[in-house]
């Protein structure tokens, strides 16, 4: 990547330069450069880029500055398809930005360009060149291109039950994934207590839609079978450990499937794939990649008032799926925090394996409750889950038991709670389970806070009595 900055006047400017992932250099070719300052970009702070501002003054009528750095994997290729994604190109609005991208030898002129309002396709040095005029939308120029007469050379690596296939130019990435799978497999086997066989992995060149939607990987589910693990090559250029974390997430899907959990239970599959990949990823040294994913999911989940909506998550769910991933993750993270961490899920998978196939929320809740050693359904109801009807009456009975245990001086709370319970029962009998659950929640709260509620009512009564007593005395005084 070569940035050539030219001007005939003195002045100052800024642009973005890489931070961390590669080194860069700045050389004045003509004129003088001074006051070089590196700072965080604003208003958007970038993980991999920072703001370089500098001042310049021309000599012999002009100034020319060259900034250079290497950007590996800017173009991803599996012939006949190619995908180019620029580095972050942002510069002062006062400057004119012009981008020249020479496509690899063998590329044709049939290109799709995203991010630039105006562009031209021409030839330079025997190669197709795309020239775009700035500003670049979002700082990224994206080009989908083709190498029509070429065919990809594919390679395959195998170790144990894993086979990784990739275009041979990505052998290093393929090896990274394979070695990571072999390394992490014993920990996964410990948690799941099942064996994998014949897992095939494919590294693929993404489309612009894959990148826009943030698809890190996927596994097709067709004909009642889980297919190959597909990993998006785009993430080989992301932070260290990102590809491994995505690969681990996808592999967890295969193990969940072996443990008898149907892929149609998306909240279970995605929640556990997120939770287990983050937890095991941290143990396997994917520190920053795992923590950063965790932070993203935590912060989205903390904005949600209820998690119940994930029950309806289906394969053709439209819109932004981040809240679905975040809520599903939060459910399994909180369960783990409360009931024994990874051991909870080891026990859970023993039950799912024995009862396979698991394809309903009721079965999942039963197996989770068995693993935790307590009925988790009230907790799920509190999280806003619709829990099967039969359960509502069970829950009401448990609240009734709690009510019976309240000391006799808590009469006010007992009275209110038993009235609310009667309403909840009537609603449940009428088949209005949501409303019954809401009423049950109120009754449960009255029982749980029985002593405080009663004290408050007594205090209110005492205050009212004192007030009317004082009023009485004042009236008497006036009469006298």
Q: Which residues bind Zn ion (CB under 5 A)?
A: 270, 273
- C-beta of 321: minimal distance to Zn ion in Å? 10
Distance in Å from the first CA to the final CA of the chain: 100
Q: Which is nearer to Zn ion, 113 or 273 (CB)?
A: 273
- C-beta of 309: minimal distance to Zn ion in Å? 18
Q: Which is nearer to Zn ion, 352 or 369 (CB)?
A: 352
Q: Which is nearer to Zn ion, 152 or 215 (CB)?
A: 215
- C-beta of 253: minimal distance to Zn ion in Å? 6
Helix then strand then coil, % of the chain, to nearest 5: 45, 25, 30
> What distance in Å separates the CA atoms of residue 362 and residue 368, rounded to the nearest whole number?
10
Q: Which is nearer to Zn ion, 211 or 321 (CB)?
A: 321
Q: Which is nearer to Zn ion, 111 or 273 (CB)?
A: 273
Note if the bond before 357 is cis, omega within 30 degrees. Answer: yes
- C-beta of 248: minimal distance to Zn ion in Å? 11
Q: Report the SS3 class of residue 167.
A: strand
- C-beta of 285: minimal distance to Zn ion in Å? 22
Q: Which is nearer to Zn ion, 128 or 261 (CB)?
A: 261
CB 207 within 8 A of CB 83: yes
CB 69 within 8 A of CB 89: no
3-state secondary structure 4-17: EEEECCCEEEEEEE
Tell which residue, 116, 112, 111, has the closest CA to residue 139: 116
Q: Which is nearer to Zn ion, 130 or 273 (CB)?
A: 273
Walk across the sheet containing 32-39 and list its strands. 11-18, 49-57, 32-39
- C-beta of 59: minimal distance to Zn ion in Å? 58
> What distance in Å separates the CA atoms of residue 30 and residue 76, rounded to the nearest whole number?
35
- C-beta of 199: minimal distance to Zn ion in Å? 15
> What distance in Å separates the CA atoms of residue 225 and residue 62, rounded to the nearest whole number?
66
Q: Point out the residue whose Cβ comes nearest to Zn ion.
A: 273
Q: Report the SS3 class of residue 79.
A: coil
């Amino acid at each position: 990547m070569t940035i050539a900055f030219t001007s005939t006047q003195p002045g100052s400017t800024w642009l973005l330069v890489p931070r961390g992932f590669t080194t860069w250099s700045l050389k004045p070719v003509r004129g003088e450069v001074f006051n070089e300052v590196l700072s965080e970009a604003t208003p958007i702070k970038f993980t991999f880029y920072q703001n370089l501002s500098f001042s310049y003054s021309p000599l012999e009528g002009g100034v020319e500055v060259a900034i250079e750095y290497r950007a590996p994997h800017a173009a991803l290729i599996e012939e006949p398809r190619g995908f180019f994604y620029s580095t972050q190109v942002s510069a002062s609005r006062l400057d004119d930005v012009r981008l020249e991208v020479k496509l690899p030898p063998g590329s044709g002129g049939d290109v799709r360009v995203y991010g630039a309002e105006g562009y031209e396709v021409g030839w330079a040095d025997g190669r197709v060149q795309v020239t775009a005029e700035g500003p670049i939308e979002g700082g990224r120029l994206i080009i989908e291109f083709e190498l029509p007469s070429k065919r990809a050379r594919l390679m395959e690596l195998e170790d144990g039950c894993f086979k990784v296939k990739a275009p041979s130019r990505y052998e290093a990435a393929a090896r990274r994934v394979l070695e990571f799978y072999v390394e992490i497999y014993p920990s996964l086997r410990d948690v799941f207590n099942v064996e994998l066989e014949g897992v095939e992995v494919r590294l693929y060149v993404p489309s612009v839609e894959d990148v826009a939607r943030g698809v890190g990987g996927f596994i097709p589910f067709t004909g009642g079978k889980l297919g190959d693990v597909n990993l998006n090559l785009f993430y080989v250029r992301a932070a260290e450990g990102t590809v491994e974390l995505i690969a681990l997430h996808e592999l967890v899907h295969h193990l969940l499937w072996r443990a008898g959990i149907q892929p149609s239970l998306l909240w279970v599959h995605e929640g556990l794939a997120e939770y287990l990949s983050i937890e095991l990823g941290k143990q396997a040294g994917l520190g920053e990649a795992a923590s950063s994913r965790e932070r993203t999911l935590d912060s989205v989940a903390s904005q949600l008032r209820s998690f119940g909506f994930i029950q309806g998550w289906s394969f053709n769910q439209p819109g932004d799926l981040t809240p679905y991933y975040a809520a599903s993750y939060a459910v399994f993270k909180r369960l783990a925090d409360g009931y024994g961490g990874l051991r909870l899920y080891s026990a859970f998978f023993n039950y799912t394996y024995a009862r396979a196939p698991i394809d309903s929320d009721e079965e999942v809740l039963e197996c989770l409750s068995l693993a935790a050693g307590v009925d988790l359904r009230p907790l799920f109801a509190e999280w806003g889950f619709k829990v099967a009807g039969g359960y509502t009456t069970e829950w009401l009975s448990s609240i009734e038991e709690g009510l019976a245990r309240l000391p006799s001086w808590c009469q006010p709370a007992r009275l209110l709670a038993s009235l609310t319970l009667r309403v909840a029962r009537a609603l449940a009998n009428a088949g209005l389970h949501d409303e019954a659950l809401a009423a049950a929640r109120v009754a449960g709260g009255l029982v749980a806070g029985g002593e405080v509620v009663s004290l408050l009512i007594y205090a209110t009564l005492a205050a009212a009595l004192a007030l009317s007593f004082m009023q009485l005395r004042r009236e008497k005084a006036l009469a006298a």
